Amino acid sequence: MTDKQPRPMIEIEGLHKYFGPLHVLRGIDLSVAAGEVVCIIGPSGSGKSTLLRCINHLEIAQQGRIRIAGEIAYRDEVGGVFRAHSNRAVAAVRAQVGMVFQHFNLFPHLTIIGNVMEAPVHVLRRPKAEAMRRGMELLTQVGLADKADNYPEELSGGQQQRAAIARALAMDPKAMMFDEATSALDPELIAEVLAVMRDLADRGMTMLVVTHEMNFARQVASRVIFMDHGSIVEQGDPAAIFADPREARTRDFLRTVLER
Residue 137, judged by CB atoms within 10 A of its CB (0-12, 13-18, 19+), counts as middle
If one asks whether residue 56 binds another protein (CB under 8 A), the answer comes out as: yes
Phi, psi of 38 (to 5 degrees): -105, 120
If one asks whether residue 246 binds another protein (CB under 8 A), the answer comes out as: no
Binding part of the chain for another protein, among 63-71, 134-142, 147-155, 204-212 by CB under 8 A, reads 147-155
If one asks whether residue 249 binds another protein (CB under 8 A), the answer comes out as: no
Q: Rounded to 10 degrees, what is the CA torsion of 234, 236, 238, 242?
A: -40
If one asks whether residue 174 binds another protein (CB under 8 A), the answer comes out as: no
Judge whether 52 and 210 are in contact, CB under 8 Å. yes
Beta strand pairing status for 206-210 and 37-41?
parallel
What amino acid occupies position 230?
Answer: G
If one asks whether residue 153 binds another protein (CB under 8 A), the answer comes out as: yes
Beta strands in 86-217 (DSSP E): 97-100, 175-179, 206-210
Diameter over CA atoms, the chain: 55
If one asks whether residue 112 binds another protein (CB under 8 A), the answer comes out as: no
The nearest distance, CB 149 to another protein, in angstroms, is 10
Distance (Å, rounded) from C-alpha 124 to C-alpha 32? 25
Q: H-helix or E-strand containing 121?
A: helix 112-122
If one asks whether residue 200 binds another protein (CB under 8 A), the answer comes out as: no
Q: Which of 22, 84, 91, 243 contacts another protein by CB under 8 A? A: 91
**Of 156 and 222, which has the nearer Cβ to another protein?**
156
Q: Which of 4, 78, 79, 109 contacts another protein by CB under 8 A? A: 109
**Of 58 and 72, which has the nearer Cβ to another protein?**
58
**Of 101 and 242, which has the nearer Cβ to another protein?**
101
If one asks whether residue 108 binds another protein (CB under 8 A), the answer comes out as: yes
Distance (Å, rounded) from C-alpha 114 to C-alpha 109? 9
**Of 58 and 214, which has the nearer Cβ to another protein?**
58
Q: Which residues bind another protein (CB under 8 A)?
A: 56-58, 87-88, 91-92, 94-99, 101, 103, 105-109, 118-119, 122-124, 150-154, 164, 167-168, 171
